[in-house]
Amino acid sequence: MPKDFQINGKVWNEICPSNQCEIEGDGYSSFIETPDSGVTPPSIGLSLDFFVHDNITNKNLTPLQRESAEKYQLAFSCNVNSEKDIIQQGNNATFNCSGNSFLQKQNFTDTDPTYFFKTEGTYNNQSDAIVATGQFDRKI
């Protein structure tokens, strides 16, 4: 699980009604397409699978039902919008980007919402780290 992954505010209250949940990572993948890879515009993306364990709300579910009910996916994608968003100092380059993210249950049904966020991100090639923050936009 990426370090310091958090969900809070209205969305957290909806996916964790008891407000006593624990997040457990289940794997992630990322992609970085920088200008030197020949991709225009450069882009940054991340897909994260995780569980939101809720021992209070989901206490009467079987283990298989819990796994289905508690598994979520977050997808983040953003583009580096201009050359001013690329800061290079020697061999170190930082790429700033803006884009969108969505969060939904992995095994969602027609009644499960998808949450959308406006997202700002930064990728640093020396530390190979992505830092992203999303602001809740809407749910569908």
The 3-state secondary structure of 63-88 reads HHHHHHHHEEEEEEEEECCCHHHEEE
Percent over 90 (pLDDT), the chain: 77
The predicted structure's pLDDT at residue 39: 77
Residues 6 or more apart whose CB falls under 8 angstroms from that of 99 comprise 43, 44, 76, 77, 78, 79, 119, 121
Tokens of 14: 């909806």
Q: What are the domain boundaries of the chain?
A: 9-139
For the stretch 72-107, pLDDT in tens is: 999 999 999 999 999 999 999 999 999 999 999 999
The reply to whether the predicted model has a pTM over 0.85 is yes
Find out whether 72 and 15 touch, Cβ atoms under 8 Å. yes
The predicted structure's pLDDT at residue 134: 95
